[in-house]
Chains A and B, each alone.
Chain A
Amino acid sequence: MLLIDRLSCQSKLRYINASVKLMYAVLTLALCVLSRSAAVAALVFAVNGILTAGKGGIPLSLYIKLLTVPLAFLIAGTAAVTINISGEPLDAFAVPVGEWYITGSSAGICQAFRLCATALGAVTCLYFLSLNTVMTDILAACRKLHMPPLLLELTLLIYRFIFVLLKTGTAIMTSQQSRLGNRDFRTRVRSFGLMGSSLFILAVKRSNALYDAMEARCYDGSLKVLSREYPARRRQFAFVILFELFLGGVWFWCG
């Protein structure tokens, strides 16, 4: 249903302690964004690629496909950062259009390059976390960080419901398509609206049924789920700390 979720269940790194993975991803992400250096970003990009596609066993083709998801934003945003429209030409390039120039400076291009590198590096951190850790494990790790229990409960329930509703929604859309529900733009809009409203009705119905089921099983206002523990190994901790120190070093020396 959701590609990333499916892959995270298959990952070979799935059973590594979630807190360690969370710590690695967040620290690396923070260093990558804080430093904004191309060297750090390139290193992070490479290491995360090796960890996710190599060690984690995520198919490389899918990994590359996932990396192109934010591409449209990256290209559009970077174009807006580099290209200026101004009365005076800047130093890197300038194309005259009437009285104005479509122009850019070399400092701007340099900045845009660093920005792209940082963003791509940061995205691989996010992918490392989401492709190798199941959502419930992330939530269990958050519980250890003492986040508000109501928020976590809500997140857990939403996570579960997403798949229920997504399945229903997709099924409705499939049946609409098989009945010429996407014949032209008007019908398509109407079909989507009908799907949305019936999805809402089904959602409310299901939430009532779920509440009844929970009530029948002694629900007293809090959800308690048993989770299996995968103890953190000392070697993994050492790897994470050494890597972060190394990244810090690269940031310090290469800038």
Chain B
Amino acid sequence: MPKKQKIVTGAYIAFAALFAVAPVSNAMHIMEGYLPTGYCVAWGVICLPFLIAGFTSLKNKVKENRKNLTLIAMSGAFIFVISSLKIPSVTGSCSHMTGTGLGAILFGPAAVSVLGIIVLIFQAVLLAHGGLTTLGANTFSMAVAGPLVTFCVYKLCRTAKADRRVSVFLAAFLGDIFTYCVTSIQLALAYPSEAGGVAASAVKFLGVFAPTQLPLAVIEGILTVVIVIGLETYARPELRSIGFLSDRKEA
């Protein structure tokens, strides 16, 4: 018995240590080739209405004012760069933000769905985070579901007259957590557990990714707050140009 316990403890320590030495512990991108074909296609199809809605809204924005094209493109690049720069982490491993939460607060969920898929393509091709076959699933979790939650929470907190910082933190934090839950469920649907089916499998995936994702969500929330505060202090005209401050009288 003690020997077996030793094995279990050893295995767990090895598993935990893995996250300290792994080259990148990233926001949850499902790896290339990890989902069966049916699921790849299905998630892509689910994303389609959101992408079309986002695309139409972008098209209208560009038609309205041609200047918006460069602004939208810059916003997309901003999301990519924010998500590819190393953020301060507690464990010392190299981790990154999703960036889509900040994007959803600043640019709205419709724009982020299209920008998100472009950013995800770049992350797959330039950074090897995620992949082409899993693009649909990743888009749904990171560019559709997460930003939608972020945006709804943010609007809800604002209408409830919550403190701006608190609402930004909650929005980014919950959006990140939701992304992580959706990804776990996506994996669980594709790989149901032999003992307990999809639900048990979802718990397993949630558990396995918890050590990296929970601290990351907190840090992402804090960083989003700090960035938004910085923007409100120094970048009022720029925020107005993207329509972030237009609804406020004092701005």
Contacts and interface: CB of A to CB of B under 8 A. Distances in A.
Interface in A193-242: 193-201, 203-208, 210-211, 214, 219, 221
B223 A193 contact: yes
Given A72-B23, A203-B77, A219-B66, A188 B33 contact: no
A77 B75 CA distance: 32
A206 B36 CA distance: 42
Given A68-B23, A154-B72, A33 B194 contact: no
B76 A154 contact: yes
Given A166-B84, A204-B242, A151 B75 contact: no
A211 B67 contact: yes
A119 B193 CA distance: 19
A30 B7 CA distance: 39
Contact of A2 (B75, B118, B126): B126
Interface residues of A, number: 98
Contacts, number: 268
B69 A154 contact: yes
Contact of A72 (B24, B102, B132, B204): B24
Contact of A203 (B31, B69, B78): B78
A190 B33 contact: no
A123 B55 CA distance: 29
Contacts of B118: 151, 154-155, 158
B32 A203 contact: no
B231 interface: yes
B128 A204 contact: no
Given A107-B194, A169-B85, A193-B226, A70 B71 contact: no
B55 to A, nearest CB: 7
Interface string A140-168: 00000000101101110111111011100
Contacts of A83: 204
Nearest to B59: A150
Interface string B64-92: 00110111111111101110110110100
Interface in B200-229: 200-201, 204-205, 207-209, 219, 222-223, 225-227, 229
B129 A69 contact: yes
Contacts of A185: 88, 90
Contacts of A204: 71, 74, 235, 238, 241-242
B52 to A, nearest CB: 10
A189 interface: yes
Contacts of A90: 194-195
Contacts of B125: 4, 126, 129-130, 135, 138
B171 to A, nearest CB: 16
B249 interface: no
B187 interface: yes
Contacts of B219: 189
> Which of B22, B31, B76, B238 is most buried by chain A, counting CB atoms within 10 A of its CB?
B31
A74 to B, nearest CB: 6
Contacts of B200: 84-86
Interface string B121-136: 1101111110111000
Interface stretch (A11-19, A52-60, A94-102, A246-254): A94-102
A201 B241 CA distance: 11
Contacts of A122: 32-34, 131, 133
B4 interface: yes
A152 to B, nearest CB: 10
B80 to A, nearest CB: 5
B230 A157 contact: no
Given A2-B126, A29-B133, 10 more contacts: A4-B126, A33-B37, A84-B200, A84-B204, A126-B32, A126-B124, A155-B121, A188-B88, A201-B231, A207-B74
23 contacts: A4-B125, A4-B128, A30-B133, A72-B23, A77-B31, A77-B187, A84-B193, A84-B200, A85-B195, A108-B194, A119-B34, A122-B33, A123-B128, A126-B128, A154-B73, A165-B80, A169-B81, A189-B88, A189-B222, A189-B226, A197-B235, A208-B67, A210-B70
Interface of B: 4, 7-8, 15, 18-19, 22-26, 29-34, 36-37, 40, 55, 58-59, 62, 66-67, 69-78, 80-82, 84-85, 87-88, 90, 102, 114-115, 118-119, 121-122, 124-129, 131-133, 187, 191, 193-196, 200-201, 204-205, 207-209, 219, 222-223, 225-227, 229-231, 233-235, 238, 241-242
